[in-house]
C-alpha cells in the first residue's frame, strides 16, 4: 500500500482526524441516519486502486455490511456451504485484521437458491464494548469488542428462511430486536441485550389467504426486511415490514399498534428498511413493488385510511429508497432506472436510466450533495442529489458489490465479493494481480509450448491454478475464475481460465480465494484440492 503525496494539501488530509465534519460511527445497517452522512467529503472518482486507503481480503462469502465503532470495523462471513459462520474485525486506519472469530458451527445449513443469498447476510449492530451478530435461525450472539469473547448466544429462535436470513438486528434502549419471517413461522422477538433473554415475542397477525406458486409453498409468508424505531407524537414505534403487511409495534411490550396490507400480488421478499421523514413512514412491498407513504398515527388496519400516497413507478424490490431533504430517490433492481419523487406528496420529478444493463442490490447512500450507487455488475455511479438528473461520475470494474456501504469521517467502507475497501481522497494502492489473456500468454510461449504439449494453452490436460472466486456474469450465468500457474512466465502474465455454468457453483462451493487447485481443463472439471 502506498499513500499519494503529490502535494501538501493531500498530506494535510492524511494527518487530519478522519472523523472531521462527518459521522464518527456507522453502527448498524444503513447507519445511524438511514444512509445519510451529510458532511462527509468523499471522492467522486475512485477505482479498485485510486482513492483507496486500504483493501483487505475477507475470507469465504458474506453480504453483510460493515459497521464501525471508533477504531474497529466489523462484518460477518460464512463458508459458502454454510457449515461455519464468522465475525471479522479489522482496524479502521490500517485495514489489518484484529479478530477472526468462528461464531457457530451449523449442522444443517439451508442450500436452496444458493445464488440469491449467503449464509452471512444480516448486518451486525455495534455499540460501546459490544457487537451483536445475527445469522437468522443459525443463531445470534453478543461479542465483547475488546476481547472477541462471546458473552451470550441464542440458537433456539428459528424459522424456515428458505433462502437464508437477511433481516438485521436493531437496538433501542436495553432491547435487541430480531425478525423471523419464514415460510413456517413469522414473528418479532425482543431480547434483553445484556443477557440475551427473551422480553417478548409477537406473532404476525395478518394472513391474506393467497396461494403462492406450487413450486414455492408459503413463499408469500417469507420476508427479509430490517425494522426501524421511530418516535411520533411522543411515542416510540417499531416499524416492521413482513411479507404481506407492514406493522407497527410498541417496542416496550410488543403490542401491535397498526398495520397496512400490501395489497394485490405477492408481497413476499420484502427487504427494505423503512424510513421516517416528514412525518411519514416510507416502506415497500417486496416482489409486488409498491412504495407506501404512511401516516403512523392510526390504530388497527389503517390500509384504507392512513396511506398518504403510493406508487409502483420505478419501485425496487431490494435496494431501499433514500430520502434527502424534500426528495425521495430510488434505484431499480434491474435496468439502472433512477427515480426522484417529492417525499411529502409523491409527485414524480424524474425517472432516468444510468445506462447499460445494471443490476442494483445495494441501497444508495448520500454524502455532501451526492448520491452513491453500486451495481452487482461492477459499475458504480455518483449522481447529484437534486431535482435534476445529473451523473457526476461512472466507473466500471470486475468487482461485485452487494453490501451496503458505511461512511465514517471522510471515508467510505464498501464490501465487494472478495474484499473490504476503505475509499478516501488522496490514497492509492497497488492493483490486484493482473491476469493475462490466453492469446497474450500464447504469444510469449513459443518453443516451450511445443516441447510440453501438456501445458499448451490449446491442449492442456491438467494445470495448477488458484481459485479467484465465482459470481454471476452480466448474462446471469454463474462463472468461476482461475489464475493458471506458469513458472515460465512472470506472475502478472499468468493465464486466466473461466468455468461457466450452474454445475460449477456446487463444484467449487467452499473454496477460498487464491486456494491452490489442480484443474483438468480437457474435461473442464476439478482434479483435487491441495
DSSP 3-state assignment of 406?
Answer: strand
Does residue 191 lie within any of the structural domains? no
Does residue 489 lie within any of the structural domains? yes
The answer to whether 177 and 227 are in contact (CB under 8 A) is: yes
Q: Write phi, then psi, for 220 (nearest 5 degrees).
A: -70, 0
Does residue 406 lie within any of the structural domains? no
Identify the residue whose cell numbers are 416496550: 252
Dihedral, 501, 505, 511, 513 alpha carbons, nearest 10: 50
Strands (E) in 419-460, as ranges, are: 419-428
Helix (H) or strand (E) holding 171: strand 170-172
Say what the pLDDT of residue 455 is. Answer: 36
CATH number at residue 352: 2.40.10.480
Say what the pLDDT of residue 483 is. Answer: 82
Does residue 175 lie within any of the structural domains? no
Cα separation, 100 vs 80, in Å, equals: 16
Say what the pLDDT of residue 495 is. Answer: 73
For 91-150, the DSSP string reads ETTT--EEEEEEEEE-SS---TTGGG--SS-SPPEEETTEEEEE-GGG-EEEEETTT--E
Identify the residue whose cell numbers are 437477511: 166
DSSP 3-state assignment of 160?
Answer: coil
Cα separation, 224 vs 222, in Å, equals: 7
Does residue 277 lie within any of the structural domains? no
**Residue ranges of the chain with per-residue pLDDT less than 70:** 1-22, 265-267, 357, 433-462, 474, 487-493, 520-530
C-alpha cell, 201: 415475542
Q: Write phi, then psi, for 302 (nearest 5 degrees).
A: -110, 20
Say what the pLDDT of residue 490 is. Answer: 63
Query: Which of these three, 399, 427, 461, is where a domain ends?
Result: 399
Residues 450 and 500 in one domain: yes
- Closest-CA residue to 323 (of 15, 69, 30): 30
Q: What share of the chain is helix, strand, coil (3-state, %, to 5)?
A: 10, 40, 50
DSSP 3-state assignment of 235?
Answer: strand
Residues 346 and 394 in one domain: yes
Residues 393 and 455 in one domain: no
Does residue 349 lie within any of the structural domains? yes
CATH number at residue 442: 2.40.50
- Closest-CA residue to 66 (of 117, 27, 97): 27
Q: Give the tens place of pLDDT for each residue, 393-448.
A: 998 877 777 899 999 999 999 998 889 999 999 999 988 765 433 333 333 333 33
Residues 449 and 395 in one domain: no
DSSP 3-state assignment of 359?
Answer: strand
Say what the pLDDT of residue 445 is. Answer: 37
Residues 445 and 382 in one domain: no
The answer to whether 367 and 380 are in contact (CB under 8 A) is: no
Cα separation, 132 vs 74, in Å, equals: 10
- Closest-CA residue to 181 (of 225, 217, 125): 225
For 3-39, the DSSP string reads E--SSHHHHHHHHS-TTTTS-S-B-STTTTTTSEETT
Query: Which of these three, 376, 399, 422, is where a domain ends?
Result: 399
Residues 442 and 514 in one domain: yes
Identify the residue whose cell numbers are 451495481: 375
The answer to whether 353 and 337 are in contact (CB under 8 A) is: yes
Residues 522 and 444 in one domain: yes
Cα separation, 93 vs 409, in Å, equals: 11
If you compute the radius of gyration of the chain from its CA atoms, what whole number of angstroms results? 24
Query: Which of these three, 372, 399, 426, is where a domain ends?
Result: 399
Structural domain total, the chain? 2
For 259-314, the DSSP string reads EEE--SS------PPPEEETTEEEEE-GGG--EEEE-TT--EE-TTTSEEEEE-TT
Cα separation, 326 vs 344, in Å, equals: 7
Cα separation, 98 vs 110, in Å, equals: 30
Identify the residue whose cell numbers are 465479493: 417
Query: Is beta strand 245-249 parallel, antiparallel or unpaired with respect to 235-241?
Result: antiparallel
Identify the residue whose cell numbers are 443459525: 138
**C-beta atoms surrounding 108 within 10 Å:** 9
Per the structure, the complete domain to which residue 342 belongs is given by 319-399
Q: Give the tens place of pLDDT for each residue, 146-167.
A: 999 999 999 999 999 999 999 9
Does residue 519 lie within any of the structural domains? yes
Say what the pLDDT of residue 307 is. Answer: 98
Strands (E) in 209-274, as ranges, are: 228-232, 235-241, 245-249, 256-261
- Closest-CA residue to 27 (of 139, 152, 130): 130
Cβ burial 125-153 (10 Å sphere, 16+ → b, else e): bbeeebbbbbbbbbbbbbbebeeeeebbe
Does residue 461 lie within any of the structural domains? yes
Say what the pLDDT of residue 433 is. Answer: 66
Amino acid at each position: 500500500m502506498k499513500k499519494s503525496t503529490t502535494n501538501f494539501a493531500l498530506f494535510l488530509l492524511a494527518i487530519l482526524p478522519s472523523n472531521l465534519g462527518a459521522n464518527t460511527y456507522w453502527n448498524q445497517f444503513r447507519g445511524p441516519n438511514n444512509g445519510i452522512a451529510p458532511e462527509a467529503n468523499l471522492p467522486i472518482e475512485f477505482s479498485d486502486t485510486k482513492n483507496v486507503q486500504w483493501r483487505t481480503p475477507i475470507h469465504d462469502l458474506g453480504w453483510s455490511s460493515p459497521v464501525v465503532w471508533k477504531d474497529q470495523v466489523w462484518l460477518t462471513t460464512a463458508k459458502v456451504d454454510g457449515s461455519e459462520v464468522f465475525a471479522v474485525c479489522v482496524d479502521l486506519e490500517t485495514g489489518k485484521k484484529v479478530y477472526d472469530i468462528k461464531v457457530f458451527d451449523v449442522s444443517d445449513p439451508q442450500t436452496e437458491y444458493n445464488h440469491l443469498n449467503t449464509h452471512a447476510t444480516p448486518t451486525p449492530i455495534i455499540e460501546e464494548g459490544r457487537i451483536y451478530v445475527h445469522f437468522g435461525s443459525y443463531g445470534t450472539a453478543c461479542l465483547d469488542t475488546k476481547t472477541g469473547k462471546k458473552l451470550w448466544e441464542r440458537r433456539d429462535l428459528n424459522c424456515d428462511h428458505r433462502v437464508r436470513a437477511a433481516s438485521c438486528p436493531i437496538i433501542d434502549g436495553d432491547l435487541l430486536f430480531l425478525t423471523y419471517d419464514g415460510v413456517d413461522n413469522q414473528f418479532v422477538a425482543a431480547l434483553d441485550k445484556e443477557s440475551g433473554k427473551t422480553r417478548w415475542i409477537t406473532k404476525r397477525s395478518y394472513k391474506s389467504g393467497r396461494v403462492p406458486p406450487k413450486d414455492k409453498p408459503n413463499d408469500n409468508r417469507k420476508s427479509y426486511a430490517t425494522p426501524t424505531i421511530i418516535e411520533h407524537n411522543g411515542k416510540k414505534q417499531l416499524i416492521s415490514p413482513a411479507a404481506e403487511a407492514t406493522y407497527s409495534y410498541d417496542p416496550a411490550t410488543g403490542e401491535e399498534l397498526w398495520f397496512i396490507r400490501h395489497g394485490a400480488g405477492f408481497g413476499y421478499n420484502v427487504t427494505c428498511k423503512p424510513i421516517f421523514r416528514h412525518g411519514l413512514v416510507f416502506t415497500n412491498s417486496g416482489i409486488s413493488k409498491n412504495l407506501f407513504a404512511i401516516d403512523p398515527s392510526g390504530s388497527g388496519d389503517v390500509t384504507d385510511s392512513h396511506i398518504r400516497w403510493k406508487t409502483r413507478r420505478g419501485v425496487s424490490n431490494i435496494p431501499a429508497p433514500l430520502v434527502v431533504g424534500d426528495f425521495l430517490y430510488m434505484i431499480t433492481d434491474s435496468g439502472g432506472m433512477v427515480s426522484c419523487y417529492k417525499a411529502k406528496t409523491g409527485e414524480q420529478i424524474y425517472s432516468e436510466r444510468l445506462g447499460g444493463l445494471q443490476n442494483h442490490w445495494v441501497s444508495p447512500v448520500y454524502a455532501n450533495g451526492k448520491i452513491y450507487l453500486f451495481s452487482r455488475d461492477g459499475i458504480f455511479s455518483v449522481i447529484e442529489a437534486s431535482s435534476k438528473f445529473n451523473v457526476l461520475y461512472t466507473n466500471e470494474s470486475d468487482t461485485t458489490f452487494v453490501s451496503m456501504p458505511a461512511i465514517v469521517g471522510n471515508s467510505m467502507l464498501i464490501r465487494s465479493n472478495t474484499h473490504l475497501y476503505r475509499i478516501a481522497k488522496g490514497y492509492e494502492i497497488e492493483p490486484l494481480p493482473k491476469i493475462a489473456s490466453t492469446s497474450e500468454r500464447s504469444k510469449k510461449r513459443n518453443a516451450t509450448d511445443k516441447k510440453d504439449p501438456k501445458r499448451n494453452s490449446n491442449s492442456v490436460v491438467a494445470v495448477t491454478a488458484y481459485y479467484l472466486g465465482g459470481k454471476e456474469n452480466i448474462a446471469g450465468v454463474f462463472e468461476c475464475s482461475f489464475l493458471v500457474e506458469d513458472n515460465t512466465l512472470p506472475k502478472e502474465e499468468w493465464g486466466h481460465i473461466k468455468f461457466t455454468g450452474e454445475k460449477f457453483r456446487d463444484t467449487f462451493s467452499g473454496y477460498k480465494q487464491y486456494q491452490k487447485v489442480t484443474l483438468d481443463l480437457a474435461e473442464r472439471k476439478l482434479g483435487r484440492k491441495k
